[in-house]
Each structure stands twice: as C-alpha cells, then as structure tokens.
Amino acid sequence: MTARSTCPYCGVGCGVLLRADGQGGLDVQGDPDHPANFGRLCSKGSALGETVGLEQRLLVPRVNGRETGWDDALQRVADRFAGTIAKDGPDSVAFYVSGQLLTEDYYVANKLMKGFIGSANIDTNSRLCMASSVAGHKRAFGTDTVPGTYEDLDAADLVVLVGSNLAWCHPVLYQRLLAARKARGTRIVVIDPRRTASCDGADMHLALAPGSDVALFNRLFAEICERGALDDAYLSHCNGFDETLDAARNDDMSATGLSDAQIAAFCRLWIGTERVVTIFSQGVNQSTSGSDKVNAILNCHLATGRIGKPGCGPLSVTGQPNAMGGREVGGLANTLACHLDLENADHRAAVRDFWGAPSVPDGPGLKAVDMFRAVGRGRVRALWIIHTNPAVSMPEADAVRDAIAACPFTVVSDITDRTDTARLADVLLPATAWAEKDGTVTNSDRTISRQRKVLPAPGQARPDWEILADVGRRMGFGAVFDYDGPAAIFREHAALSGIAGRFGRDFDISGLSRLTDAAYDAFEPRRWPIAQGRSGGRFFADGAFFHPDGKARLLPVKWKPPAARTEPRYPFRLNTGRLRDQWHTMTRTALSPRLSAHMAEPFLELHPADAGRLGIASADLVRVTSAVGAAILRARITDAVRPGQVFAPMHWTGETAPSARIDALVAAATDPLSGQPESKAGVVAVARYAAAWYGFAVSRDAMTPGADYWALARTRSGYRAELAGSAPVRDWEAEARRLFGRPNAEVASLLDAKQGTARIVLHEGRVLAGALYVSSQPVAVKRDYLATLPGTEAAGAFTGRPPADMPNPGPVLCSCFGIGINTIVQAVEDQGLMSVDAIGAALGAGTNCGSCRPEIAELLQGIRTREAAE
Ligand code: SF4
C-alpha cells in the first residue's frame, strides 16, 4: 500500500509517496499531486529510503546508561522536573526542541511548559534558523505572516535570492524557479558574499560584504522613492514612511563593498519589474542585524505595494520541515500559541482558560543562546532536549557541550544515541522516526501536510506527543494530557486557533477543529488560514494588517557591522552553511552511501590569493581558530569566496569528524530582537596544519580512528576515512589492525620509512577487510575506486588505483545515478556535449532531482574555458 507523506528535511515540504517493503525498507517517490513539489524530489529526498534502517537506532529507554522500562524512565523524568521546580521554581527547568517535531508533538511540549509547568523556557533549534524572520514579520505586519506562496515563483518576472543558496538548500524550489525561467524568462539575482551553486542560473550576482544587506536594501528603498516608484495608494496602509526614507537615504551604501554601477543595475532591475519575489533565508536571518535585514527587504515590498499579489512579495524560506508548525504552536520562548502574544494579557487569559491551565507566563523565556548559558551557570538544572543536537549545532558548541554535561539532569529524546548530545544524557528516550509516526507539518508557504506512519515503531520507541503527554500526567497535570492520538491534538490546536482568529490574528485553522479521525487520516495538503470565510491564498494584497491600527509598519533601519571585527589575530571572516547532500548534523543523511559520496569530508573554502600567502596547497589540512574554538579542515582553494573570507559546512560532528565541529568556532553573538546567533560572520585565523602523516582508509566494517584529524563516511561497501596526525606512528601494521578492529586478519604491507609511506591491506579469507594508505603528503589514491573494494576479492588494493583497463568514474557528482565527474568530462570531450541538457540526455546526470545541475553547469563552463585557452 502506498501512503502520501512529507519529506522530513527542508522547509519546502515536498510530498512523498511511501511504500514499505515489509522488511523494514521503504520505497520513496515524489508525490505528483503535492502542491509543493508536483512529484519532484531533491537528492536528499530521493535517498530517504537509505536512511530508515535500524542501525544506530535507540530502541529502549536508558537511565544513566542502563536500559530500563518506560515506566521507570518517565517517572524519573517527571520526578526530577517536579522536584527541581518545587525547589527552584519553574524557570529552573527548560525544554530545547526542534523543527523536526510534528505540530502535534510541538503543541503538547508547548502546552506542558507554558501552560502547566508555568515557565516560557521552551525554545527550539528554529531559533538558529528563522527567528529573525519571525521578528521582522511581527514588526512590519503585526503577526508572523508569510505573505506569499510558492505559486508566486511561477508568476514572477524577477526573483531575488538574498542569503539563500536555494539550489542546494531548497533544491526543489530552485528547480521550480528554473522551470519558470525557461517558461517565461524570469530574471534571477543572487545576493550573497559567496558564489554558490545558485549563481550558476543567475543573471546577476552581487557579492556584497558580509552582513551589509541592510545598506543595499536601504539604497533600493531610497531609489524607489527617488524614481517615483512608490505605490501611494498602498502606502496609505503603512506607517513610518518618512522616518524610513530618512534612515535609508542616510545609510552608508559603501558598506556593501559593491560598485555604484552594480547597485544601480540592481535597483533598475528591481524597480523596473513589477512582479518581483524576494526570497531570503539563513544569510539574512543568521546575523546580529537579522531582524533589520528582514525589515529592510519588507520595506521595499510594502512601499511598492508588491506584496500579496500573484508573482509579488517577500518569501522567507525555512530550513526545517516544521519550523512553521513550531511558529504556529508558539514553540519559541517569546511566542504564545497560535500567533497570540505572550505580552498581551487578554491573549494569555484566553489561552490559559482554553487549556484549563493555572497560569501562562507573562514574559518571554530563555532563548536558545541564553538557555544554554543559564544551563552553564546552573540556573537551569533540569533540561529536556528533543530531536536536536545542540552540543554540535549551537554557537560556542564546546561551551554548550560542557554546560549540558554539567547540568544536574538532562533528558534527550531522539531516534539514535549516536549524537554528541545524546552521549551526555542522564535519561535517553527512544522516539519514533519520521516514517513511523503520524501528524502534520507546515511548510514555508503555509501549506499543512500529513506525515503518515508506514513503518512499525521499532523496539520500544514511542511518538513524542505520547512521551510528553505521559510526563505531563505523571507530573500531576491530569486529563488535559489524555490524548488518544494525534488527531485529537490537532483538533485541540485548531480549536485554539479559532480563539486567535477571534482576536483578529492571521493563524486560524478553526475550520479543521471538528475533523474526524477518518478525515484527519485522509487530510490533503492545504494552506492556512482555514476558517469560516477564510481559506488559503495570499495575505496583504488588500492592505489589511494585524497591528492594532490595521496598518503595516515601515521600519527605519540602518546598517550595522557584524558583531566581530576582523583584526590581525583573526583576519578572516567565517561563513558557515549547508551542503547539497547533507542535513543538519547528519544523523540520517550520513547513513546513505549515495549522499555521502558527494562530499565525503569537511572542508574550508579559501581564496587562492589567501592560500598562496599562507603557503596552503590544495588538499592540505588547515587549522582554523577563533576566540572560542578551533577546527582542522581540508583546504579547498576556490575563488567562490572572496579574499579575506572563508566558508565551512556545518554538518560534521564528534561522530563523523570531531575536529570539524564548526560551530565550536562561532561566537554566540545574537540579534538583540530575535535572539538569533550570527553564524555567517565570525572571525578566525587560518594556518596550514603541519601533519606528520596523512592517511586514507577503506573498510568493510566501522572503523575506530584515533588520529588528530579524521572524517568518516559511509560507502556502498562499508566506510571510508580520511586521517592525519602530528605525532609519528611507529608501527603502521599494528595501527591498521587497531583501526579496523581485526587483530587476527591476514596483513600484507608495503612500508617505506624513508619516504614516510605505508600501504597495508587486510584480508579475511579471500575478501578485503580494510586497506590503509599513508603518506607524508596528502594521500594520492583513487578514493572512489578504493571505496568499492571492501568485501570483494578484487586485486589491486595495493596500487591505490584501478587497473588501466577499468574506467574510473571519479568523484560522484550526480548522486541519483551515481555518475562521476570523470564520466561527465569524458562524455563532453568524446561526444562534444555543449549543455547540461545534452549531458542529461547522454548520461542521465541531472535528470532526476536536478540538484546537481548547477555543478554540471560549472564543470561544463570549466571545460569550455580550458578549451578556449588551449
Ligand atoms: Fe526534501 Fe529536498 Fe523537498 Fe527539501 S527540497 S523537502 S530536502 S525533497
């Protein structure tokens, strides 16, 4: 039987068709009828079936490392939370939750903390993702409303991507945008300090200085006024015009680092195009001026009336599958349920009465950064972390890890115990995973979709809402946590939203408050609001806003530099971000060999001029240091970053590459309004890491690397690892046996102490169990070929390269079809292929999810440039 469900990764919220094979496996296809993706999936969504196995799953509750029953574990949680509250008050406990939670889970967590524990100390990893958008929306509109829809991309003539690498981070939306461009010639502008994959399809790339977006949009605002492009009728629905214009005119455009001509060209294009959508994401939000950046963008759309109409408007795209659902239930420390306001006494009273709660806190709780600081200072003494990995993903991650470790009582609910955070828990609670649970999620354009259970809950795993409700009952809060399933929670949430609707709020799904269980089961994707007389669509075309006077607010904002300044000790600006084929801290995507093939180890991008000055060669390792942490990463020398800037991905953890936990280097400076940390403008020093030796290993089974630097990745035949160390190793054979955990395997080795090289091959029976290659320089072997050898009888592991007559596809570029770079280059040269489409027609590369098309385009461009120079 096929079930319609939703992809659990990014905020696009693609529909998927799931079919269980009856043996724990899952077939995953795009849902052709889902309005978010119409059948398309990106590489991550396509590989979901590879991530549902039970390897690494947490299956039984654990207390202090001992397996136990649910009764014991949950009673302990309830008793410790109740005891801590009794002694030190409700603000001595906290929940840190996640945009991975379903809305029903989120709702129960928020109700338990804000309604019954009596604290607002619940925050979510969405704080790191889009809190600045929430703050900007609320300041401008009076509520956290996303005005537009995905259909606007189909109708726009200009789409501006600000701080958004849509091609990698929201690939299905990007493919939709490219399709629109093909159909109607949509122009695309990318505003990003770095040249990303999204630039390959763009008409204009503005590589502005990090953090200077406010100055650019202020210039645009001033130009809109000076060129007479204001929509005067629409402006009658807005306050604050004069102050905003004054601030915009007096801002410092030079802060952008862009030329006058570049800025003028952008302003001309934006002003001259009526149907313009501005998409913004982490490059805007993750900043100490994130809220101001959002408002600088919104100001331009409001002043021109380009909002809420087909093909027009600002569109914040969220990082997580249910960041929007978390916003709806009030899962942030400074929000109340259903877009009501914590600071409003009438709103609080309404929610309190609806829940039958003793009280609702009258002020915000601790936002993420402050929450972990409070844990570190001993002010929060009982902490429940649900489906997130703050010991890696929070800024100043080392300090956060230490704070969690020192917390008197930490509970972690997760699907695995193999995370940096789960290893610190006193109580570990096994939760059901994505394909094992029922509920709803809301995507970036307000579309609510069902997630449906298609696999049985393994071991003793339970849904999160059930775990939370059980603890609520055990803490004595009784029948208000007696739910018989997620549909009952959904109905309650929908009913509460009706009260919000009566207060004139935007989020109203009260039309679903009487949904039967059967109707909930059959629920089709729908965009909110869903209430009597209100349904889906866009907001604000009519000029009706949610501030008490019904008007929008233009906000006078001015450019402020990032919190940290570069200085001689830390001369580089560090940008962090996502890769195409990995997700967050890799707890799921790292299980997929297909996804791991794209970029198998962490890296630091730096400009050739900087690399040359520092004596860093391609494939060297570099040591990156900031005032709060350090990392060792592989150097990737590229002019995609500008001189003085470096970029590193945020995915690697203590489980996959302990020296590459990049958020350990990011200082916890936050936007004063949104509390969102500045993850894209840290300052660091970079130096060549003087390794005594470098290694590369492949293995059939898991390895236990113990080097200064290591990075582990899955392959179809087992694992691969990059290694390096600063201390010499005396006995490489013994080290190989230890690394592969095979003390009795048959070993063949080729050692050259003078050259500092070693090649050690371990066999068990006739098959290769592992092979280790060591050199005093970065190891030069054919990694993709060697990764196929473990578990086979193939000869030639010693040489480190395939036999001469065997094709070598090279590193995988198209994950869906496993097509390597060498295969593409060969086909281009042999067949004279001149376009990405021609390569697709010849090889299939880029014809499934399309996520690799920008990289194919870049490869093609490189070949053409090379040929032209020859
Ligand atoms: Fe999932 Fe990719 Fe769709 Fe995002 S774009 S929801 S990761 S399939």
Radius of gyration of the chain measured on its C-alpha atoms: 27
Q: What is the pLDDT of residue 868?
A: 64
Indicate the top mutation candidate among 6, 37, 41, 852 to test ligand 1's pocket, ranked by most ligand atoms within 8 A of CB: 41
Tokens found for residue 561:
């530099």
| Phi, psi dihedral angles at 473 (to 5 degrees) | -65, -40
User: Phi/psi class of residue 485: alpha, beta or left (left: φ > 0; alpha: ψ in -120 to 50)?
Assistant: left
**CA quadruple 81, 83, 86, 89: dihedral, nearest 10:** -40
Cβ neighbors of 683 (< 8 A, separation 6 or more) are 564, 565, 566, 567, 570, 571, 572, 573, 574, 626, 627
Indicate the top mutation candidate among 5, 6, 7, 169 to test ligand 1's pocket, ranked by most ligand atoms within 8 A of CB: 7
Nearest atom, ligand 1, residue 583 CA: 7
Distance in Å, CA 150 to ligand 1 centroid: 14
* CA dist., res. 786 & res. 790, Å (int): 8
Indicate the top mutation candidate among 9, 31, 318 to test ligand 1's pocket, ranked by most ligand atoms within 8 A of CB: 9
Give the strand pairing for 757-764 and 746-752.
antiparallel
Cβ neighbors of 522 (< 8 A, separation 6 or more) are none
Distance in Å, CA 10 to ligand 1 centroid: 5
Tokens found for residue 455:
């696999």
CA nearest to 607, candidates 648, 662, 645 = 645
Distance in Å, CA 49 to ligand 1 centroid: 14
Interval 344-355: pLDDT, tens: 999 999 999 999
Which helix (DSSP H) or strand (DSSP E) does residue 222 occupy?
A: helix 213-226
The letter for the amino acid at 691 is A
Q: Taking each helix axis as running N to C, give the angle between helix 464-472 and helix 70-88, from 0 to 180 degrees, rounded to the nearest 10.
A: 50
C-alpha pair distances (Å), 779 with each of 183, 598, 693: 47, 19, 9
Q: What is the pLDDT of residue 496?
A: 97
Residue located via tokens 């080097």: 707
Q: What is the pLDDT of residue 320?
A: 85
CA torsion sign for 630, 631, 635, 637 is negative
Which helix (DSSP H) or strand (DSSP E) does residue 439 occupy?
A: strand 439-442
Tokens found for residue 560:
């402020």
Distance in Å, CA 101 to ligand 1 centroid: 16
CA torsion sign for 528, 530, 534, 536 is positive
Q: If you ran DSSP here, which 8-state letter would residue 474 be given?
A: I
> Which protein residue's CA is at the shortest distance from atom 3 of ligand 1?
14
Distance in Å, CA 331 to ligand 1 centroid: 23
* CA dist., res. 179 & res. 37, Å (int): 12
* CA dist., res. 391 & res. 423, Å (int): 10
Nearest atom, ligand 1, residue 45 CA: 8
Distance in Å, CA 26 to ligand 1 centroid: 17
Q: What is the pLDDT of residue 869?
A: 64
Indicate the top mutation candidate among 31, 165, 166, 172 to test ligand 1's pocket, ranked by most ligand atoms within 8 A of CB: 172
Residue located via tokens 């960041």: 323
Distance in Å, CA 170 to ligand 1 centroid: 6
Q: What is the pTM (predicted TM-score) of this model? A: 0.94
Distance in Å, CA 506 to ligand 1 centroid: 27
Q: What is the pLDDT of residue 44?
A: 94
Q: How many of the other CB atoms lie within 10 Å of CB of 318?
A: 29
Q: What is the pLDDT of residue 99?
A: 92
Q: What is the pLDDT of residue 804?
A: 74
Q: How many CA atoms lie within 13 A of 800 on its CB side?
A: 18
Cis peptide bond prior to 529, omega within 30° of 0: yes
Pocket of ligand 1 (CB under 6 A): 7, 9-10, 12-14, 37, 41-42, 44-45, 170-172
Q: What is the pLDDT of residue 808?
A: 75
Distance in Å, CA 550 to ligand 1 centroid: 36
> Which protein residue's CA is at the shortest distance from atom 2 of ligand 1?
42
> Which protein residue's CA is at the shortest distance from atom 4 of ligand 1?
10
* CA dist., res. 549 & res. 531, Å (int): 23
Q: How many CA atoms lie within 13 A of 212 on its CB side?
A: 20
Tokens found for residue 787:
């990764």
CA nearest to 396, candidates 366, 370, 365 = 370
Nearest atom, ligand 1, residue 321 CA: 6
Interval 547-564: pLDDT, tens: 999 999 999 999 999 999
**CA quadruple 44, 50, 51, 53: dihedral, nearest 10:** 170
Distance in Å, CA 11 to ligand 1 centroid: 7
Residue located via tokens 């394909």: 435
CA nearest to 420, candidates 455, 394, 443, 450 = 394
The letter for the amino acid at 533 is G
**CA quadruple 442, 17, 585, 774: dihedral, nearest 10:** -160
Tokens found for residue 783:
């990694």
Distance in Å, CA 441 to ligand 1 centroid: 13
Distance in Å, CA 40 to ligand 1 centroid: 9
Nearest atom, ligand 1, residue 43 CA: 2
Distance in Å, CA 45 to ligand 1 centroid: 5
Give 135: exposed, middle or buried? Use CB within 10 Å, 0-12, 13-18, 19+. buried
* CA dist., res. 460 & res. 495, Å (int): 32
Distance in Å, CA 816 to ligand 1 centroid: 14
| Phi, psi dihedral angles at 197 (to 5 degrees) | -60, -25
Nearest atom, ligand 1, residue 6 CA: 6
Q: If you ran DSSP here, which 8-state letter would residue 456 be given?
A: P
CA nearest to 660, candidates 392, 423, 391 = 392
The letter for the amino acid at 489 is I
Distance in Å, CA 285 to ligand 1 centroid: 20
Q: What is the pLDDT of residue 82?
A: 98
Distance in Å, CA 90 to ligand 1 centroid: 38
Cβ neighbors of 764 (< 8 A, separation 6 or more) are 742, 745, 746
Tokens found for residue 169:
């981070």
* CA dist., res. 338 & res. 341, Å (int): 9
Distance in Å, CA 172 to ligand 1 centroid: 6
Nearest atom, ligand 1, residue 36 CA: 3
Q: How many CA atoms lie within 13 A of 635 on its CB side?
A: 25
* CA dist., res. 134 & res. 460, Å (int): 37
Q: What is the pLDDT of residue 203?
A: 97
Distance in Å, CA 207 to ligand 1 centroid: 27
Indicate the top mutation candidate among 14, 175, 582 to test ligand 1's pocket, ranked by most ligand atoms within 8 A of CB: 14
Q: Cβ distance 653 to 392 under 8 Å?
A: yes
Residue spans of the chain under pLDDT 50 = none
Indicate the top mutation candidate among 31, 42, 169, 198 to test ligand 1's pocket, ranked by most ligand atoms within 8 A of CB: 42
Tokens found for residue 223:
């130009």
